[in-house]
Structure formats: C-alpha cells, structure tokens
Amino acid sequence: MPSVAVLLSVGRHPASGRARRAPLDARALEMAFSLPNAAVHAIHAGNPDEPALRDYLGMGMERLTVLSIPRDGDPVPALTAHLEQLSPDMVLCGSRAEGGEDSGMVPYLIAHALGYAMVADIAAVSASAATATLTQALPRGRRRLIETGLPVVATVNTAAPAPRQSSFGRARRGVIDILAADAPPDTLADQCEIRPWRPRPKRMRLAAAASAADRLKAMTETRSGEGAVMIQPSPEEAARAIYAYLVEKRIIGDGS
C-alpha cells in the first residue's frame, strides 16, 4: 500500500481575489485518490485558521495536517522536516501556487533536501511496491511515460483529471491537525516589490512565408487602416509615432 503525501496551498481567485483551494493542488489530491489502497496524507504549511482549507476536506479527506508557520515564513524547512518523519513513497503537489512568490521552486527544493527523484508536469500516475509509472504532459498534447523508483516528488499539470466537487458536510466534519513548526523568515520576499498585475505585452505577429523576400515584405508593408506613412519625419515626430505604436500593442505602458 503506497503512502502519498499531498502538499496543499491556498489559492486565490483571479477575478475576485478571494481565497480558494488551489486548482492544481486539488488535481494532485484527486490523483492521490485514484491510487488503489493508497494512504493519503494532506499537508499544508501556513495559517491553520484559513477557511479555504476546508474545501480540501470536502473532497473526502477526514484529516488535514497544518504546519503552523507565520505568514512571512519559509515553508520549505517545515515541510521537509515533516516529510522526513512521514517518509512517504510519493509526494504530489501542483506545479505552481496562486499566492506569494509563485516561483514553483518548492517541490524542487523539497526533492533536493530529501534526496527524492523529481518529475514535473504529470497527468496520470500508477504505483507498485517499489516503482511508479508517471505520464508526463508535453506541449501539443503529447505524452511521455516515465518509470522511476520510489520515493519520488511529482508536480501535477493542468492535463490531470479535474478535481471533484467539495462537499459542504464533509468539509465541516473534517479535522484539521495543527502542528507547530519552525520557519525562518523568507528573506527573498523582503527584497521583492509587490504590485498589481498588468497584462503582459503581446508579441508582434509576423506572417510566415516561403522566402526571405516575402518575410521582409510582410514585416515592412503597411496595410490599409493599420498605420501611416511618414516621409522624412523629424526625430520628435518619429519618436512619438514609435511610442504610440508600442502603447497600442501593449509592449509598454502609457504612463497613466
């Protein structure tokens, strides 16, 4: 019977900003449920009073372990120490969180600290007594089968099966076990600037053509209604036209 630890984080709704279960972590928990006769351990490092954690219990977990650490603490040492005691055969988590630094480095740091194998972006998993077969999701819908020895840390891709709905009754009946943990301050977060998100610049699309002459023509020609021809403009006029184009394409901000 494999032992599976699922690392859970608190997500954030992209429109309202309200706390929720992280979609990728919920997929990781759903994947753990799909393993026959697996002993599933749900673990969160953070605030034990966060109401969104109940959504994971509503998926069918009877207990959830919360390593109580301060908001500005580094969760990696606390998670590593707890996993060393638990010694699971497999550690599953989402590839990236929805709050904090969103670096996606937590599973890699944990795998390095524990000496576990590391596999990224899996869409399915099966396990035996000593090995695991992971289906890795590749671009354009391709898949790769990876067989590795246990223990292993794996991050879950959006191609994994969608998580089940959270039951209100199970969420209320579930038990949250709170464990005190040591978490050093996250010095990297203190050096970062947090600001509102803005749309990323759009890349300029270039028409594909068979020859170099056709590609050059596609880049230099001006289509009707999409620009203006400037003949020997002054440096100031040229600069204003370039600036207006970059703002229109959202390559830079308008300064407002």
Distance CA 166, CA 156 (A): 19
**CB–CB of 41/88 below 8 Å?**
yes
Residue ranges for the chain with pLDDT beneath 70: 1, 100, 189, 197, 202-210, 215-227, 255-256
- Output the pLDDT for position 180: 87
Q: Tell me the torsion sign for CA atoms 23, 24, 29, 32.
A: positive
Phi, psi values for residue 115, rounded to 5° = 75, 25
Q: Which two tokens stand for residue 2?
A: 């494999």
Per-residue pLDDT, 205: 64
Of 3.40.50.12280, 2.70.240.10, 3.40.50.620, 3.40.30.10, the CATH number of 3-190 is 3.40.50.620
Task: Answer whether 0.85 is exceeded by the pTM.
Answer: no
Closest CA to 58 of 177, 176, 180, 178: 176
Domain(s) labelled CATH 3.40.50.620 in the chain stretch across 3-190
Three-state DSSP class for residue 241? helix
Cβ–Cβ < 8 Å for 2, 150: yes
The pLDDT score that the predictor gives to residue 145 is 93
Contacts 24+ apart (CB under 8 A), 205-209: none
pLDDT of 16 reads: 83
